[in-house]
């Protein structure tokens, strides 16, 4: 019954709460369970403060983003617990000055910037600050996703003080979202000034950091500072880097292969993950 419902309604199902064309919004202590599609949508709005959310949905429920932001600015999402079948928080086209702080995410697909540039669209996102987030048993963690052939930019994005517990893909930049069959297309959303600082925890997948960028030099100015992501099973993790311009500072594990100054710590020397952040 549930499967049939989602198959029939995934493109037509309502959002539980939609805030559109609004300014000076305060939303606090709001709970949403099993929304048929997105739980909260923030669209074409400004000066929005959202706090103390409790959002739950089955981990196999499609398109049930916890909070989706698009074409909005000066948005603050804080102090919340979100578990869904899609992104805990997604930050879509036209979003500026968005802060995500003190979030517990899981299950779900992580906190995503994007997707951007579908069907060649010219779309932008800028000044996004994601900090003090715990990802627990999620498929993704800190993710940026764009479509090949897209236009526009995503810049000034930071992920700070992030903890991963049993996350399949902790850190991802994916410029071939849902389509990696033909990577020759030169069009891509330009990514720049992307910063990762103080990330730690465990990965259930071998590739803990994956920067998969277009060949046209669209991933520039990526900064990685103090990262320690080990394997949940005690084995080694690796990083993959395609066509990205990255610099590192501090201890970084796993080693990022496209960085000339990266150290090469062994798994035995990688520090244990720090305790979970307070929610």
The answer to whether 25 and 52 have CB atoms below 8 angstroms apart is no
Give 80: exposed, middle or buried? Use CB within 10 Å, 0-12, 13-18, 19+. buried
What is the predicted pLDDT for the residue at 267?
Answer: 44
Instruction: Give the pair of three-digit tokens for residue 148.
Output: 């090949």
What is the predicted pLDDT for the residue at 47?
Answer: 99
As a whole number of angstroms, the distance between CA 30 and CA 67 comes to 12
What is the predicted pLDDT for the residue at 217?
Answer: 76
Q: Which residues of 225-263 are buried (b: 16+ CB within 10 A; e: fewer)?
A: bebbbbbbeeeebbbbbbbbbbebeeebbbbbebbeebe
pTM attached to this predicted model:
0.89
Q: How far from 192 is each of 94, 143, 152, 169, 213, CA to CA, in Å? A: 16, 14, 11, 21, 12
What is the predicted pLDDT for the residue at 45?
Answer: 99
Question: Which has more pLDDT, 226 or 1?
Answer: 226
Q: Which residues pair with 247 in a beta bridge?
A: 223
Q: Please, which pLDDT band fits residue 258 given cuts at 50, 70 and 90?
A: confident
C-alpha of 32 from chain center: 21
What is the predicted pLDDT for the residue at 178?
Answer: 77
Q: Which residues pair with 252 in a beta bridge?
A: 227
Q: Which residues of 142-162 are buried (b: 16+ CB within 10 A; e: fewer)?
A: bbbbbbbbbbbbbbbbbbbbb
Q: Beta-carbon neighbour count of residue 195 at 10 Å?
A: 15
Q: Residue 53: CB partners within 8 Å, gap ≥ 6?
A: 27, 30, 31, 32, 40, 66, 67, 77, 80, 81, 82
Q: Please, which pLDDT band fits residue 266 given cuts at 50, 70 and 90?
A: very low
Instruction: Give the pair of three-digit tokens for residue 139.
Output: 């498929």
What is the predicted pLDDT for the residue at 264?
Answer: 42
Question: Residue written as tokens 């498929």?
Answer: 139
pLDDT for 181 beyond 90: no
Q: Beta-carbon neighbour count of residue 275 at 10 Å?
A: 8
What is the set of active-site residues? 109
pLDDT for 77 beyond 60: yes
As a whole number of angstroms, the distance between CA 98 and CA 64 comes to 20
Instruction: Give the pair of three-digit tokens for residue 99.
Output: 């802060």
What is the predicted pLDDT for the residue at 218?
Answer: 87
Note the pLDDT tens digit of each residue in 152-167. Answer: 999 999 999 999 999 9
Pick the closest to residue 10 from 31, 30, 32, 38 (CA basis): 38
Q: Please, which pLDDT band fits residue 270 given cuts at 50, 70 and 90?
A: low
pLDDT for 8 beyond 90: no
pLDDT for 274 beyond 90: no
∠ at Cα 259 (254, 265), nearest 5°? 30
Give 192: exposed, middle or buried? Use CB within 10 Å, 0-12, 13-18, 19+. middle
Q: Please, which pLDDT band fits residue 179 given cuts at 50, 70 and 90?
A: low
In CATH, which superfamily holds the domain spanning 2-10+26-269? Single-stranded right-handed beta-helix, Pectin lyase-like (2.160.20.10)
Note the pLDDT tens digit of each residue in 30-73. Answer: 999 999 999 999 999 999 999 999 999 999 999 999 999 999 99
pLDDT for 203 beyond 80: yes
What is the predicted pLDDT for the residue at 275?
Answer: 44
What is the predicted pLDDT for the residue at 279?
Answer: 40
Note the pLDDT tens digit of each residue in 101-149. Answer: 999 999 999 999 999 999 999 999 999 999 999 999 999 999 999 999 9
What mean pLDDT, rounded, does the chain reach?
90
């Amino acid at each position: 019954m549930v499967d049939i419902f989602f198959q029939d309604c995934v493109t037509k199902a309502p959002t539980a709460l939609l805030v559109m064309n609004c300014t000076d919004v305060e939303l606090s202590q709001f709970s949403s369970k099993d929304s048929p599609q997105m739980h909260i949508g923030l669209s074409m709005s400004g000066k929005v403060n959202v706090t103390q959310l409790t959002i739950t949905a089955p981990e196999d429920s499609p398109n049930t983003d916890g909070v989706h932001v698009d074409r909005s600015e000066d948005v603050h999402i804080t102090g919340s617990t979100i578990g869904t079948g899609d992104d805990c928080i997604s930050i879509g086209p036209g979003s500026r000055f968005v802060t995500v702080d003190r979030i517990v995410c899981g299950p779900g697909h992580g906190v995503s910037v994007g997707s951007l540039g579908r069907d060649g669209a010219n779309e932008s996102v800028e000044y996004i600050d994601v900090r003090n987030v715990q990802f627990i048993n999620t498929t993704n963690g800190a993710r940026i996703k764009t479509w090949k052939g897209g236009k526009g930019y995503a810049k000034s994005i930071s992920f700070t003080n992030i903890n991963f517990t049993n996350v399949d893909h902790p850190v991802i930049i994916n410029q071939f979202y849902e389509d990696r069959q033909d990577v020759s297309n030169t069009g891509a959303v330009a990514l720049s000034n992307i910063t990762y600082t103080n990330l730690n925890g465990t990965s259930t997948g071998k590739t803990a950091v994956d920067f998969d960028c277009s060949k046209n030099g669209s991933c520039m100015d990526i900064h990685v500072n103090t990262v320690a992501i080990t394997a949940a099973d005690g084995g080694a993790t690796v990083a993959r880097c395609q066509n990205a311009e990255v610099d590192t500072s501090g201890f970084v594990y796993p080693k990022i292969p496209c960085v000339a100054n990266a150290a090469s710590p062994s798994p035995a020397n990688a520090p244990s993950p720090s305790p979970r952040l307070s929610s």
